[in-house]
Structure 1
Amino acid sequence: MRSSVLPVLALAFTLPAGLALWQSQDLSRLFAAVAGPSDLLQGCGDVPEAVALAEELRDRALRIERYMESIDARKAEIAEAEATLRARLAELKARKGSIQSRRDGATDAVRSDIERLVAVYDQMKPAEAAAVLTNLPADFAAEILIRVRPETGARIIASVEPRQAALLTAQMGARSVRKQ
């Protein structure tokens, strides 16, 4: 018995719904809101609670609208600030690249100058090089002695008075330790 009732009930419910859909020309009308915002109070103007509720809903809608406008304005401000920051970042990256290239060029120039200076000291007689090095600052003299050929450096240190030779050797050792 149960199995024969279900198809009959299904037909009883779907037939009127299908008929209503077939007769209606605009299907969106079936699913649209029954009353528009202006029609909310139609027939209820004399009920104070309904009037108060309608005013509250209108006020809330206005506040939400203003809030959404402020959000849109903030989105625009954030987008503008982001574009400004991106432009500034690109500018700073370009500057960094140019500074780095200048620094590399200056470092290369200093290295070539030091190499030439070391070549000069390599060509000098040890006694003459020792006389000049003792008048230079100890750290600069140690730098030159480290870079000259080892046999030339040994002869120059041997030509320097013992106290100055000890100071230069200590500077050379300290420089080697700092590099590690």
Structure 2
Amino acid sequence: MRNRLFWTCITFLAVGMTAAAGGWIARAPMALAAPGALLGGCTDVPEAVALAETLRLRGIAVDRVLADLDRRKDDLAAAEQQLIRRLTALKQAKASVGDARTARDSGTAAGIERLIAVYDAMKPADAAMILAALPPDFAAEILARVQPDAGARIIARIEPAHAAVLTAHMGSRRLSGN
């Protein structure tokens, strides 16, 4: 008889908790602070009282875990927003650096083209004297970019030993593909 009473109380307790929680399986479980109403008539069964207390404590623990999960979810959402803002700022910085680099490169290319045009317009003797004073790799680059006729006239005015060095630099640049 006592065993039957125990299971009856447990059944009523489970049904009562489900009804009181409003379908707790479908939504977050909520701890019941006062299980006394659910135990109606079963308070004389120590097992039922112990089970009700265990369930209440578990419900409280679940509520705490759910609250902690909500807090962590909020923290993650805030961190995600911060990362998105940082990523956007980095993309903008990268774009501005790319724009600045492009402008610098185009300015450098335009400056080199103007320099080459100056050497094309110079008298070969004057250009040869200036190129002889420059570092060989830089002088070879200029000679490689001037008009072939102007380059031939300039290199003819440079002393033979220095002309050989410049020609070797020009050849090595062409072989390396630069």
TM-score bracket for this pair, using the shorter chain length: 0.7 to 0.9
1:35 and 2:4 correspond? no
Q: Which has the larger radius of gyration?
A: 1
Aligned pair count reads 148
Unaligned runs of 5+ in 2: 1-13, 18-31
Matches of 2:146 and 2:42, distance apart in 1: 105
Q: Please give the residue correspondences for 1:60-75 in structure 2 after superposition, counting only pairs within 5 Å.
A: 60-75=58-73
Q: Which moved further from structure 2: 37-46 or 117-126? A: 37-46
Q: Does 1:76 align with 2:74?
A: yes
Separation in 2 of the partners of 1:114 and 1:171? 18
1: distance between equivalents of 2:171 and 2:40?
99
Q: TM-score, normalised by structure 2?
A: 0.74
State the one-letter code of the partner of 1:41.
L
Q: CA RMSD in A?
A: 2.0
Q: Secondary structure at the match of 1:35?
A: helix
2:48 match: 50
Q: TM-score, normalised by structure 1?
A: 0.73
1:73-104: CA deviation from partner (whole Å, max 9, x where unpaired)? 11111111111111122222222222222222
Q: What do residues 10-47 of structure 1 show as CA deviations (whole Å, max 9, x unaligned)?
A: xxxxxxxxxxxxxxxxxxxxxxx742463332222232
In structure 1, the residue matched to 2:117 is 119
Matching of residues 126-141 of structure 1 within 5 Å: 126-141=124-139
Amino acid at match of 2:158: V
Q: Percent identity?
A: 52
Note the 1:18-33 alignment, pairs <5 A. Answer: none
Q: Tell me, which stretches of 5 or more residues in structure 1 are unaligned?
A: 1-32
- One-letter amino acid matched to 2:78: E
